[in-house]
Chain A
Amino acid sequence: MKPRMMAGSSGDTKNPKIKPRPIVRIGIFLISHSIVVSLLCFAAGIVALILLPLFAKNTYISENALMPGSANSMLSSQDVKEANKLVKDIIGLKLSSEEARIEIPRLIAQHMADAGSEVYYHKFHPQMSQFYPLHFFSGSPNSGNIKENHSCVSHAINTVGIIRAPRGDGKEAIVLVTPYNSEKVELGEALSLALAYSIFSLLTRVTWLAKDVIWLAADARYGEYASVTAWLRDYHIPQFSALEKLDADICFESGYPHEQNENQIRTDVISRAGTMAAGLVFKVVDKHKETDKDTLSIYAEASNGQMPNLDLINIVNYLAVHRQGLRVKVEKLYFLLDSVFLKIVGDVLETIGKVARSLNARWEFGIPVADYIDGAATLASSMYHQALGVPTGSHGAFRDYQVDAITLEISPKVSLNNEVRILEFLLRGGRLIEGTIRSVNNLLEKFHQSFFLYFLTSPSKFVSVGVYMIAFGLLVVPLPIIAASLYCDANVLDSHCIKEQQKSGPASTNEAGIAFQSWRWLHAAKVVLVIHLWGAIVSLLPYLMYQFPEMTPTTSMLSWGLLSIASLLFLHQILGSPYSCVTVNQSPNREWAVLKSMMIAAAGIGLGLMSIINFATAQIGALLIVPMCLMVHPLKHVYRAGRLRTLAVTACNISLGFIGFPPAAFLFLKAYSEGLGSVSAGDFWNWVESLWAWNSATYLYLGLIHLPCWLLFMYVLLHPC
């Protein structure tokens, strides 16, 4: 690259210039116009991102075998009445939490057994959330090697019923999950249990069942996710070791519901029902918020931005809207709904759309402002939750075992206080779930037809990966161009300096100087490497902090910061300061350019890698990192330029330096969305803690890519050139 570059940019040599190959010429062209190109690309990337709600397509059911809604629902009012009886039984249990803990599983198990299914209890301990630095991505970090001294009371009991499909071969299963808090059952939870029971008892009688059906009544004393994940772990990765067994024996008497006459309910075994085809978690939420229709909220995001197959969402959405007349919602960022910026953009887009349509009636790309704002808020939420890498519900546990699952949260339009209303609500919800099960039951293969990588902009609209990766691509393209351009410029200038020196002074250390020139990126590379090493150390530090359990979030945060700074100083002590470059007969004012180009190269590689692991994280990260990389300029160097320019560059750089620092950005966002009063330094610690508790790759991204990049940004900014 270098010789050609010299030939391309400096055509002052005597012998005639040889025209390089077209591809090289394009490269040279891009590099020489790097500023324009990168500005264009970056702006285009931002615009593409803003336009994403415009490009959303309507969802469609891709797998023909699903056939949602083609069969009449079989759930009758009789089933629902039976279920309502269960609601009354559960609510009627005026028990202390200690009794309810045992009594409710017994009641559910009794109902399951009466319906004619296999029943067993699954007992589990809550898992401590701990930081295992070496267990990222390994799926189940806690493989039973920590056995704490649990008392028998601390067990939670899941109740599991299995219907064996009468003519099925038992290779596949559909899982229904109803989480409830056994210590304090509320009406909503009782209703969701009743909903599951009505469907379950129906399914024991139907003839069309081809897959087994598992109903997991998950005891959510220690959180929904914990109970579901404990059951899934025992289902997929059972431990045959003796420790647990002995433990179970000791606690046998106290831990399990007593059964006098029922010998069908087993306590010590996990019955299995083949490979899981899909999981449906459903909850009833009694919100007391009056709406015109019953509302169904769909939650789909699992860990690290994994999504269930779009077909699963499609069938639920189709059945809910077209068969049961529910209003379907997906999460959105509500504070964005009042955003002025979005409103302006929406207005502009609507106007453009109108003009375009009046020019040619076939150009239909404009959408109404309200749709745009709504779509953008949903898209932002979808992107945020995927980027965060934390599952939005207990369905996330299924995705760790490659099972497609979603959470359905049904809330009634008015408060459920009279019986007729409850029955109608149960019937509607039950028919929706029955239809979904029937569709999944029709499925011969596992879900594979539709999309796995998508953002939702409304329950019936999505942006597929082919569209949203354009924005990311446009954002990232400037990085290699700028890096190459900076490096080339630095070298060209240096060679000029050397020539100048050769002309003026004696050509003594000529050869050595040139050799040194071509290797001087090594120093910058070393600096970048050291900073990344520091990033790795910082992201491992919380493990050390966990050795002192009695720390508040704020003190943890402070000590984390102090330890980080200390480790940085220590690293510089032993590996050398970033600025102490041995400048031999050298124009030092280009040193920062090489450092910047190295930093940009590292950031580009990091973003590229992250886009494979979690695309949404990479996309949001790119929005922060790319302007940092493009804008950074040593403050000292800037002062030599004009006044206005200086001011602009300085302001940009300082604000970027502030926003780019993860804790600052987090607290800023929090203050923006929730108001200033609720912000404290410990919040960031809690947030980060949740990231590693969920094995989120976003944590690694922050520690290994974003933070080093920010530090390098600061170095370049404060470079003493």
Chain B
Amino acid sequence: MAFQWSVLYFLVLLQVSFTPIFAGSSGEEEFSEELLLRPLPDRKVLAHFHFESRAPPTEIYGHHHRLFPKAIYQLVQKFQIREMELSFTQGRWNYERWGGFNPITSANAKPPGVELWAILDVPPDQVDASWKNLTHTLSGLFCASINFLESSTAYSSPDWAFQPSSRSLRYGALPREAVCTENLTPWLKLLPCRDKAGLAAILDRPSIYRGFYHSQRLRLTSTEVGSEKGMESGIVLEQTLTIVLEPDAQRPNTNHLGGRVLQPSWSLRSIFGREISGRCVLAKYSTVFIEVERNLVSELKKLGRRRGVAEIASDSWTDPFFDLSVTPDKTIKEMNVTHGDSSSILYEFSTEKYLDYEPFDVGLTWKLPVVWSSPQAPFRASRFLIGSGNQRGSIAISLKSTEPGEGFMSDLAREGCTVRVDVFQVVPWYVKVYFHTLQVFVDGRHRRVTDALEKIHVSPSEDKVSPGLMEMVLRFPCSMKSATLTIEFDKGFLHIDEYPPDANQGFDIPSAVVRFPDFQASTYYLKDNSRKSALLSKFQEKNLLLSYTEILLVPLATPDFSMPYNVITITCTVFALYFGSLLNVLRRRVGEEERFLKEASMRKGMLPQLLSKLSAKLRGKYKDSPQSSSSSSSLLNPKLMFKVALVAGIAVGWHYYFE
């Protein structure tokens, strides 16, 4: 009976889903909150919060908003932002273990620190000024030093490799920015319920900052301004928080089961320390998803077949493997296009019916050990420095095929099949990159650069003015196993006041971005299932597959900062000597001096006498050398020596006996 009802429900929903929901024609502000949880292969759990606020175009709706944050609205109006993305990240996304080929990774795996890019809809000559103001505003809004991106040495304007086709894009990254709760609080303030109600209420600060990865992101898309004016969607503010947490810190080998390790079981309470007590009443909908990855599903199916689970199609086929503590409201299946025989599954839970005294605490309990790996991007990109010392070095970007043996797509690995890789890299000006030294190695063989390079755009750095920018489109054969790009650089010298605090740490080169435009990281869900979910519609958008490389630390020659003191001392000494001798020369009268000297020599002072005696001795020494050993005795007048010794002896004795 229940099944029939649900079918009916779906049918109704199908009806609804044909009418365009997100075209904005509703003319109302909207806010929605969603949370996606996904078990990761290395015993961790990914939690992805997605909050979306929409404001209709000003022309229709006016300037006053009920839900949409005013600060953001004013930001858009003032700086004519067409698109903007700001991310604060702590920790590194582990592409190998947590997956590199899904919408969450390509949109939410960000480099450590702060990354900001914006497309500003202002005349080209005002973009820079506008950007500078924007950085200051954001800096104040999010309690971060984003204002360091104001300096023209810190940001760049990529042509095409970062985001396709935009002239007024500005991109900047601050790899060293520390991210903490002071950045999260203003971010939460933008939500209508803040963290007082709804999904955001479970964001317990100690537990989320204890995690392995933490990235808060704010993305703004607006059609308020410029050429696209008049289109209907207005301003869309998308706030996401992606966290990777470890459910339980128990030792891995305590719960063995048949030699393999059982995945840890978890619940919202065990990973966040809190439960969801109802939705934010201002939200249009408030949903929690638990995702079972594509590879996990296929692994489970394989195990199921081996264990003889009869019916894989039925809803309860996963029962032997894990339990969900709350029955899902709905199960959504991925519409599989390319990826083999399995498709990921989403369990949907609506939090609307839960209240304070009956909180929502979904959990997942594993019953059998499962080992799987997340889907990978075709190449794993990493970047490292070559060489040591303070003089020169080189940067290497290496691409390794993630599927050993055959190429990444065996059906496409034909003759002449190529794969496109875009590389976008910004290097600070004090790392002076020589672009002509670019070398390409494919599968351990040196290749001519022109063979691999399809398109390149380089804007060399200018000392103390702008960073170096490199955008490349490379084509590699599909069967390639590894490729390496190297480029050499010289390390520059900074002026003493250009060094940041803690200069001896070294200097950061921000992450490079490697994109694979031939691949789409989108996930499509069966049409009827994907109604009214901003998160799922985000997954279905055109998502380019990209990955960020590591941040590099370049040790530069650093002065000893206590040196200024020494420099002042030596400068003063040199000045004193210079002026002293100058004055001496100016006031000296040579004629007078000679006269004085003559008089003095008539009088025959003591020293000249001694000198002449000495010189006589010296000359005598060569005539009769045996004498020479006693020649020095004239210096040490025995009488004088005796007197001195006597006085010293008396003093010492006096001191000794009076203590």
Contacts and interface: CB of A to CB of B under 8 A. Distances in A.
Given A10-B619, A17-B601, A402-B388, A171 B441 contact: no
A207 B245 CA distance: 12
Contact of B553 (A114, A171, A269, A640): A171
A641 B551 contact: no
A487 to B, nearest CB: 15
B597 A18 contact: yes
Interface stretch (A183-191, A443-451, A617-625): A443-451
A114 B253 contact: yes
Given A10-B619, A205-B249, A272-B384, A358 B441 contact: no
Nearest to B253: A114
A573 interface: no
A434 to B, nearest CB: 18
A114 B625 CA distance: 85
A16 B601 contact: yes
Contacts of A167: 90-91, 212, 214
B550 A170 contact: yes
A274 B619 contact: no
Interface string B592-633: 001001101100000010011011001100100110010010
A446 B506 contact: yes
B615 A358 contact: no
B550 A274 contact: yes
Contact of A274 (B441, B553, B612): B553
B553 A444 contact: no
A359 B658 CA distance: 10
B113 to A, nearest CB: 7
A242 B444 contact: yes
Interface string A3-33: 0000011110000111100000000000011
A169 B625 contact: no
B112 A116 contact: no
B3 interface: no
Contact of A359 (B632, B635, B659): B659
B632 A36 contact: yes
Contacts of B27: none
A133 interface: no
B269 to A, nearest CB: 21
A359 B656 CA distance: 6
Contact of B629 (A236, A274, A645): A645
A148 to B, nearest CB: 19
B409 interface: no
Interface string B296-312: 00000000000000000
A275 interface: yes
B175 A169 contact: yes
Interface string A238-264: 101110111000000000000000000
A493 B389 CA distance: 54
A641 B252 contact: no
Contacts of B614: 32
A445 B504 contact: yes
B212 A166 contact: yes
Contacts of A446: 504-506, 555
A237 B386 contact: yes
Interface string B392-422: 0000100010000000000000000000000
A19 B600 CA distance: 10
Contacts of B91: 166-169
Contacts of A35: 632
Nearest to B209: A167
A19 B597 contact: yes
Contacts, number: 129
A11 B611 CA distance: 9
B552 interface: yes
A275 B506 contact: yes
Contacts of B552: 171, 274
B547 interface: no
Contacts of B652: 359
A5 to B, nearest CB: 11
B625 A641 contact: yes
Nearest to A355: B656
Nearest to B383: A272
A444 B505 contact: yes
Nearest to B484: A240
A401 interface: yes
B63 interface: no
Contact of A448 (B210, B382, B558, B601): B558
Interface residues of B, number: 66
A10 B445 CA distance: 78
A642 interface: yes
A395 B625 CA distance: 58
A358 B659 CA distance: 8
Interface string B105-146: 000000011000000000000000000000000000000000
Contacts of B443: 242, 245
Contacts of A207: 210
B436 interface: no
Interface in B504-558: 504-506, 508, 550-553, 555, 558
A645 B630 CA distance: 13
B446 interface: yes
B387 interface: yes
A171 B111 CA distance: 12
Interface in A412-455: 444-446, 448
Interface in B280-300: none
A238 B486 CA distance: 11
Given A10-B615, A359-B659, A171 B444 contact: no
B385 A275 contact: yes
Contact of A240 (B388, B389, B486): B486
B553 A236 contact: no
Contact of A272 (B212, B382, B611): B382
A10 B616 CA distance: 8
Contact of A241 (B92, B446, B626): B446
Nearest to A205: B249
Contacts of A16: 597-598, 601
B626 A642 contact: yes
A637 B504 CA distance: 61
Given A171-B508, A172-B553, A245 B635 contact: no
Interface of A: 8-11, 16-19, 32-33, 35-36, 114, 116, 139, 164, 166-172, 205, 207, 236-238, 240-242, 244-246, 269, 272, 274-275, 358-360, 400-402, 444-446, 448, 489, 493, 640-642, 645
25 contacts: A11-B612, A16-B598, A19-B597, A35-B632, A167-B212, A171-B506, A171-B550, A171-B553, A172-B553, A205-B249, A207-B210, A236-B388, A242-B445, A245-B443, A274-B553, A275-B385, A275-B553, A402-B555, A444-B505, A445-B505, A446-B504, A446-B506, A448-B558, A641-B625, A641-B626
Given A172-B553, A275-B553, 16 more contacts: A9-B618, A19-B597, A36-B632, A139-B388, A169-B112, A171-B551, A207-B210, A236-B387, A241-B446, A269-B482, A359-B655, A359-B659, A360-B655, A444-B505, A642-B626, A645-B626
